[in-house]
Amino acid sequence: MSSSFFWDDLKDKDFAHAYADEFLNILIATQLKVLRGKRRQEDIAQLAGMAQERISVLENVNYSSWSVNTLRKLAKAHDLRLRISFESFSTLVEDIRRLNEEGLKRKSREDELREFLESEPRELIAYMSGTQSSDSAPRESSVLSAAKPPQDNFMRINQGRLSSPALNNAYAQALRAGQQEGVRP
């Protein structure tokens, strides 16, 4: 499909929304299959607290009755976070390009954490705790460089006050890990 024809088709509002809805169903079902990898549906079902038959239905590209709660359970079963976002139609082209196994894979929390701890935890923890200036912030190539918070964001990280007890606990654990490594907040 050439991009000019695609954009011509998207001029029709009903077509554009129907296409985006169908693509979303295909994207979610396909990503669930990719994330499962070689594991059995039964394994994912047990982790998500669902029946294997339910996993089978959810991995069907024709399924369209997604619920946020179900998606949260599946994210937790795969040790990932769920992100829901409203997007402009121009992002659809890139989403279509990424509809392949490599584009749909995600690293689990544990794998990311392992990578992080092997890379540069001292610098990032110091930066997030407010003891390192943004000029000496972790390199952009850092595993978690996207985690760099603005200095005055709502979480007020540099003052140790986060928006929820869960975030507060996660922050405290990161600080303890950094202190064990010799980083002082």
The H or E element spanning position 26 is helix 13-36
Please indicate, yes or no, whether residues 92 and 120 belong to a single structural domain of this protein: no
Q: Containing domain of residue 146, as a range?
A: 110-180
CA distance 175 to 167: 12
Residue 51 lies in a domain: yes
Q: Which CATH number belongs to the domain containing residue 69 in this structure?
A: 1.10.260.40
Please indicate, yes or no, whether residues 22 and 68 belong to a single structural domain of this protein: yes
Number of domain units in the chain = 2
CA-based diameter of the chain, in Å?
59
| Domain C-terminal end among 56, 82, 106 | 106
pLDDT by position in tens, the chain (length 185) = 556 667 788 889 999 999 999 999 999 999 999 999 999 999 999 999 999 999 999 999 999 999 999 999 999 999 999 999 999 998 998 898 899 999 999 999 888 888 877 776 566 666 666 655 545 444 444 444 444 444 444 444 444 444 555 555 666 666 666 555 554 44
Residue 185 lies in a domain: no
Please indicate, yes or no, whether residues 119 and 37 belong to a single structural domain of this protein: no
Please indicate, yes or no, whether residues 68 and 149 belong to a single structural domain of this protein: no
Please indicate, yes or no, whether residues 130 and 57 belong to a single structural domain of this protein: no
Please indicate, yes or no, whether residues 125 and 144 belong to a single structural domain of this protein: yes
| Domain C-terminal end among 78, 106, 134 | 106
Please indicate, yes or no, whether residues 149 and 176 belong to a single structural domain of this protein: yes
30 within 8 A of 95, measured Cβ to Cβ: no
CA distance 158 to 127: 9
Residue 164 lies in a domain: yes
| Domain C-terminal end among 84, 106, 128 | 106
CA distance 58 to 174: 35
| Residue 2, both tokens | 């050439």
Residue 75 lies in a domain: yes
Residue 91 lies in a domain: yes
For the whole model, what pTM was predicted? 0.64
CA distance 30 to 36: 10
HSE, CB side, 13 Å, CA atoms: give it for residue 79. 7
Residue 127 lies in a domain: yes
Please indicate, yes or no, whether residues 87 and 65 belong to a single structural domain of this protein: yes
